[in-house]
Amino acid sequence: MRRHVLGGIGILVVVLLVGCGRGTDVPGSPTQTTALSLSSPAFVHEGTIPARYTCDGDDISPALIWDEPPAGTQRLALIVDDPDAPVGTWVHWVLYNIPSDTRELPEAFPSDAELPDGSVNGKNGWGDTGYGGPCPPSGTHRYYFKLYALDTMLDLEPGATKAQLLKAMEGHVLGEDALMGTYQKQQ
């Protein structure tokens, strides 16, 4: 009897650990995704985002780098948001249809709606296209840079919102990763 109870507990622990993974916030996405490895030379995961990339500095996007996406990746998408904003999650950047052979975004990535490589900027929380840096009204906020590998090119016009992008990505996510940085506005 004791062996069966312990075996059942072991299975429960595995199920809970798998269920508590980062997962995706894209409804209807495949349950099995492959992790990408998103990072930045500007800050470490869970570290402080330098002021240069915020409203206290130059308000430019930090450089981002990642490894090989999963097989079958046609395009990549990026969402940067702040779940700690007092008005609800605030969107800082929406970028989609990034070519699958891209492995980095340079610092100060252009805010043009459409870019020569086919990448497309969506609308941020301010209603502008491109990146808008951290600018919390008070306290320390978390900023999530979420990269998605997709099995298709998205049929979205330039300036799509985060909600429109998430809907278009449903069922097309092959892999993902998130890089989180924090920032507190300078006094």
* 58-75 per-position pLDDT tens digit: 999 999 999 999 999 999
> Residue 87 is part of which domain span?
2-184
Give me the number of domains the chain comprises: 1
Residue with tokens 């700690």: 84
Q: How far apart are CA 53 and CA 37, in angstroms?
A: 21
How high is the pLDDT of residue 33?
67
Residue 9 tokens read as 């507990």
* Amino acid, single-letter form, for residue 107: E
pTM for this one?
A: 0.83
Q: How far apart are CA 66 and CA 99, in angstroms?
A: 13
Q: Are 61 and 53 in contact (CB under 8 A)?
A: yes
* 167-187 per-position pLDDT tens digit: 999 999 999 999 999 999 987
Residue with tokens 């998130």: 178
C-beta atoms surrounding 1 within 10 Å = 5
How high is the pLDDT of residue 182?
98
Check whether 32 has a pLDDT greater than 90: no
How high is the pLDDT of residue 23?
41
Residue 67 tokens read as 């490894």
Q: Are 94 and 62 in contact (CB under 8 A)?
A: no
Q: Please indicate whether residue 181 or residue 27 has the higher confidence score (pLDDT).
A: 181
Shortest CA distance to 64 belongs to which of 31, 42, 86? 42
Can you tell me whether residue 165 is helix, strand or coil? Answer: helix
Pairing of strands 90-99, 64-65: unpaired
Angle among Cα 76, 23, 75 to the nearest 5 degrees reads 10
CATH number at residue 162: 3.90.280.10
Q: Under the phi-then-psi rule, with left for phi > 0, alpha for psi from -120 to 50, and beta for the rest, what region is 91?
A: beta
How high is the pLDDT of residue 160?
98
Check whether 128 has a pLDDT greater than 70: yes
Mean pLDDT of the chain: 87
